[in-house]
Amino acid sequence: MRPWALLLAAGRGSRMAAATGGTAKQFLLWKGLPLYWHSALTFSRSAAVAGVVFVFPPDELPAREAELRTLDAHAALGLPWKVACGGAERHDSVRNGLAVLPREATHVLVHDAARPFVSARLVREVRDALADGAQAVIPGLPVTDTIKLVEGERVSATLPRHRLMAVQTPQGFALDALKAAHAAHAAAAAEGGAAPVTDDAMLMEAAGHTVRIVAGEKTNLKITTAEDMAALAPPQALLPRTGMGYDVHRFAPDPTGPGARPMKLGGLLIDKAPAVLAHSDGDVLLHALCDALLGCACLGDIGDHFPDADAAFDNISSALLLDRVLTLFHRSGLQLCHADLTIVAQKPRLAAHKDAIRKNVARLLHLPPTSVNLKATTEERLGFTGREEGIKAYAVVSALGASSATSDAERDSHAC
């Protein structure tokens, strides 16, 4: 048994007009094709559908039929198709679509064209339930939010969540039963006694038919609001990024002299260590880390953002500078993954401090300790560190991010 599909594309999309420039949502382009055509292609690939009826706005019917012919010529649907005129309300559009189905059709799948992400699997699930004898089949998802019944601004009841389902399309029906339900609704409407209809399952329920539920899909999103259009944006592949930082500080000849700072590494005070000369608090490790993060985000270096001629940064905590750099880093759309750090100094000996420094840096970076590595080494008494004249540090960070992610950060980089 292969039902026909009825693809409803006759809505005006008034709720999204401002966001779409007046284009009805079902005609928005996604991957170069209108949304309604994506649903049609899914039906054709399901091997469960015999043909498709497209229901379009009356004033657009000739143009949309010509569009269909062009689409079918370039990427054949592989199914027979027809067009029908939309009506004033959704149920009118469905009724008009049912009227053009071929005589041999016994069942129909009714689908909203603004659900372009429907899967072939779901189409087959609904078809299989119809083949099993169901008169009406709808996909549904359990409701996870608590739902309140309200009157104005007052809650009148809390509905039992375990009995609620959020309903999707395609909805499947035995054709004769659905036609009879629509006829009964039309007769009631003529006498002024018809309730508003939001889907065809309501009509089948009113006619006394049992409506079967099959599992819906979270990905079967309906494009209803401007926020939903984000689902149509092309996905951005996350690309690996690497940043490298280096910093050095001279030891202070007089630990109480101008610019002398007690040694801090990774935000921790190191006891019995030489003082360093610095404008800020002189944390050589965090300064190298800041430069690595800025380099990863293509945002210059620490001197661009925190110049040593600025009195505002006199003896400022390097942990605070790191926090500001992290703000810029995250604004750039990057996701920090790993940091590898090296301290080079003849003194002090850091073996007893390494684990505490590593864990504190991980805390400052909001990373697990397993994502931060720290090494400490000497230079075998070579160079200025070997002569005990100063200390230096290297930092390498790894991140993931989209290739165009830095634009917002570039615009905001001077805000700090």
- Give the annotated binding-site residues for a divalent metal cation: 247, 249, 287
Contact of 314 with 270, CB cutoff 8 Å: no
Q: 380: which residues sit within 8 A by CB, 6+ positions away? A: 386
Distances (CA, A) of 284 to 263, 267, 271, 360: 9, 10, 16, 15
**Which amino acid makes up residue 34?**
P
Closest CA to 115 of 40, 44, 48: 40
**Which amino acid makes up residue 3?**
P
The token duo for 169 is 């399309």
370 CB-side CA count, 13 A:
0
In the three-class reduction of DSSP (H, G, I as helix; E, B as strand; rest coil), residue 404 is classed as coil
DSSP codes of every residue in 336-366: EEEEEEEEE-SSS--TTTHHHHHHHHHHHHT
In the three-class reduction of DSSP (H, G, I as helix; E, B as strand; rest coil), residue 410 is classed as helix
Give CA angle at 322 (280, 327), nearest 5°.
135
Closest CA to 294 of 131, 165, 416, 111: 416
In the three-class reduction of DSSP (H, G, I as helix; E, B as strand; rest coil), residue 138 is classed as strand
Closest CA to 343 of 409, 401, 390: 390
**Residue 144 buriedness (CB in 10 A; 0-12 / 13-18 / 19+):** exposed
Among left, alpha and beta (phi > 0; psi -120 to 50; other), residue 291 is alpha
Residue 173, number of CB atoms within 10 A of its CB: 31
Give kind and range of the element (H or E) at residue 247.
strand 239-250
Give kind and range of the element (H or E) at residue 322.
helix 318-331
Give the position of tokens 């600025």: 310
Annotated binding-site positions: 247-249, 279-280, 287, 301-303, 306-310, 377-380, 384, 387
